[in-house]
Homo-oligomer: A and B are copies of this chain.
Amino acid sequence: MHIKNILNDMEKDNIQAYLLTQFTNVEYISNYKPTSFAFCVIKENPIIYASQMDMEIANRDSSIEVKQYEKFETMIEELKKEGIRNLAIEPSLVYSNYEKFKDDFKIESKNYVDKQRMIKSSSEIENIKKATQIAQTAFKELDVANRKETEDVLAFDLVRLMIENGASGESFDTILVSGSNTSLPHAIPQSKTLETPILVDWGAKYNGYCSDNTRTIVYNEKEQEILDIVRESHDKAIKAIKPGLKCCEIDKVSRDIIKEYGYGDKFIHSTGHSLGLDIHETPTFNARDDTIIEKGMVITVEPGIYLEGEFGVRLEDTVAIGNNAKIIGDLPIEL
């Protein structure tokens, strides 16, 4: 089905073949997830050129034909022999691969697969729900507020608990930090015991799909004040999400609330990102993304305020979009 939709898009643009190399795109299309390079070509008779060391799993997992990659020139010749002239590539194709194709084909960059992946099927949403459930159960079991170990040990323990609860791993490097370390949105857990506040940004991977949540545990009035603002921004942004609106409008709702309280310049990242097989997918809730929100999208809402040298607060939930946005999972905001 995915391939048929993409072939339709290609036909409209007069594209005869579409080259995929991004592992999760190849996985999305064929069910085979490369562990080394692979060239997947969507065309009337789609084909994957896989590396020799991947042939066993490619033959086992792929729903489309697999050939062993021999040489670059062979692949190009085969495509040319089929009369392929107009070739589409992914925006993420690395230049060194683009270079190999550029003299033999007319090339355009297209996001056909990213576009498909924006709209999740019910089974994809089930996987994201399951990943979220695992991650939130592990978080409760960790009971971080009552632990005396260092940030890095606790981050690792959270991953262990996710795996024990059925995750295949973490969906990104777990952020479990405290004190002034929380003012870095992408902080790295350190070998130091917990200070306040405690910020945890974590996710599980289940059946290939990611979850993503953030909670901040606060301990004094100033921290609570900031949390309340972030919470208002988080809640109102989620409430505002409706199919038909633009993504940037949701970013504006979230950002305006933080601005009103005078912290506009302390909200130093986007309001949210889609997720699925990858932890960061499109569309994004930011000021420049004017993608129209549609049913079936799964996007995070994660406003934050970062006071450099002091502390930061971020709250994040992942929402599945139907007629409205519904939060995935049931973890309370304040713990």
Q: Which residues of A contact B (CB under 8 A)?
A: 35-36, 51-57, 89-96, 98-99, 109, 152, 156, 160, 163, 168-169, 173, 183-186, 188, 268-269, 306, 308
- A184-B95 CB under 8 A given contacts A152-B163, A156-B160, A163-B156: no
**Residue in B52, B91, B168 whose beta carbon sits within 8 Å of that of A269 in the complex:** B52
CB distance A186 to B99 under 8 Å? Answer: no
CB distance B95 to A308 under 8 Å? Answer: no
CB distance A54 to B186 under 8 Å? Answer: yes
CB distance A95 to B99 under 8 Å? Answer: no
Which residues of chain B are near A306, meaning CB under 8 Å? 53, 56
CB distance B53 to A268 under 8 Å? Answer: yes
**Residue in B52, B90, B268 whose beta carbon sits within 8 Å of that of A95 in the complex:** B90
- 17 A-B pairs with CB atoms under 8 Å apart are A35-B185, A36-B186, A53-B268, A56-B184, A89-B95, A91-B95, A91-B96, A92-B94, A92-B95, A93-B94, A93-B95, A94-B94, A94-B95, A95-B98, A95-B109, A98-B98, A168-B188
Which residues of chain B are near A95, meaning CB under 8 Å? 89-95, 98, 109
Known contacts A36-B269, A53-B269, A93-B94, then 9 further A-B pairs from the complex at CB < 8 Å, ordered by chain A residue: A52-B268, A53-B186, A54-B186, A91-B95, A91-B99, A95-B95, A152-B163, A156-B160, A160-B160
In Å, the complex CA distance between A36 and B286 comes to 15
In Å, the complex CA distance between A169 and B173 comes to 10
In Å, the complex CA distance between A43 and B303 comes to 37
**Residue in B109, B152, B156, B308 whose beta carbon sits within 8 Å of that of A56 in the complex:** B308
- A94-B96 CB under 8 A given contacts A186-B35, A268-B52: no
A91, A183, A306 — most chain B CB neighbours (10 Å): A91
Which residues of chain B are near A269, meaning CB under 8 Å? 36, 51-53
Residue of B nearest to A309 (CB): B56
Residue of B nearest to A152 (CB): B163
In Å, the complex CA distance between A168 and B190 comes to 9
**Residue in B56, B90, B160 whose beta carbon sits within 8 Å of that of A183 in the complex:** B56
Which residues of chain B are near A156, meaning CB under 8 Å? 160, 163
Which residues of chain B are near A169, meaning CB under 8 Å? 173
CB distance A92 to B96 under 8 Å? Answer: yes
Residue of B nearest to A156 (CB): B163
**Residue in B35, B99, B268 whose beta carbon sits within 8 Å of that of A109 in the complex:** B99
